[in-house]
């Protein structure tokens, strides 16, 4: 069995009892960055062997992992934070497991965009998750598409590109379009800022921005 195990996005208490049990029972843990994941495993006294599995090596390592799973070894996949395969490695391994009739089970757990969406106060009965925008090629096309969506949409963004992203969203969606930016979710310095895209761009341009960023934007009402 391949287990997809969500890990905390900040506060180490945000992990389920079942996730901890699985991480202790499996033969191997695949981690996006073993240095980051080691902190979590040490905190919960988990000694399961761990191996690196990320976007740069997953195509090379997956055949060996498939053979281990066929030999009836249980493996858990974790990312640095949140649910694997949501803007993190995981999709390719899951697909290959299913192609080889290996059962996959994804545990429920932490995902950054859900609390950000709920905290935003924007309609969440229907929403569109974009993830990370392209840095260059295709970025303007995606922004134009998102600007026309009639329902709330969600982006992940780097703290270093946040202000630029908000300014570009204001350019395409209008400066008065309502939005919210969530930063450092579940951590000591969590921030949930709300306002127009212009107001948010001004707010974050006046400070040094750190942490993981989720941007939630109101849909087009016209």
Q: Is the pLDDT of residue 9 over 90?
A: yes
Q: Report the alpha-carbon distance of residue 208 to residue 211 in Å, rounded.
A: 10
Look at residue 222 in the predicted model and tell me its pLDDT.
85
Whole-number percent of the chain with pLDDT over 90: 96
* Paired sense of beta strands 2-4 and 104-106, if any: parallel
CATH of the domain at 19: 3.40.1010.10
The total domain count for the chain is 2
pTM: 0.92
Q: Is the pLDDT of residue 73 over 90?
A: yes
Find all residues with CB under 8 Å of 89, minimum gap 6, and list them.
32, 53, 54, 55, 58, 79
| Structural domain harbouring 123 | 113-217
If asked whether residues 148 and 195 sit together in one domain, one would say yes
CATH of the domain at 150: 3.30.950.10
**92-151 pLDDT, tens digit each:** 999 999 999 999 999 999 999 999 999 999 999 999 999 999 998 999 999 999 999 999
If asked whether residues 33 and 125 sit together in one domain, one would say no
DSSP 180: E
SS3 53: coil
């Amino acid at each position: 069995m391949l287990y997809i195990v969500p890990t905390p996005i900040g506060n180490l208490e945000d992990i389920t009892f079942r996730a901890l049990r699985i991480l202790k029972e499996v033969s191997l843990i695949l981690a996006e960055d073993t240095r980051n994941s080691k902190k979590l495993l040490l905190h919960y006294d988990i000694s399961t062997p761990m191996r690196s599995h990320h976007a740069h090596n997953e195509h090379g390592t997956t055949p060996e992992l498939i053979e281990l799973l066929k030999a009836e070894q249980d493996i858990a996949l974790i990312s640095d934070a949140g649910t694997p395969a949501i803007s993190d490695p995981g999709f390719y391994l899951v697909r290959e497991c299913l192609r080889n009739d290996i059962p996959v089970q994804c545990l429920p757990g932490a995902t950054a965009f859900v609390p950000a969406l709920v905290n935003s106060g924007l309609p969440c009965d229907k929403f569109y998750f974009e993830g990370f925008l392209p840095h260059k090629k295709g970025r303007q096309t995606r922004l134009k598409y998102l600007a026309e969506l009639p329902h709330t949409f969600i982006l992940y963004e780097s703290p270093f590109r946040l202000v630029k992203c908000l300014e570009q969203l204001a350019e395409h969606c209008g400066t008065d379009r309502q939005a919210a930016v969530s930063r450092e979710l579940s951590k000591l310095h969590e921030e949930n800022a709300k306002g127009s895209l212009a107001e948010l761009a001004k707010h974050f341009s006046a400070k040094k921005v750190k942490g993981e960023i989720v941007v939630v934007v109101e849909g087009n009402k016209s």
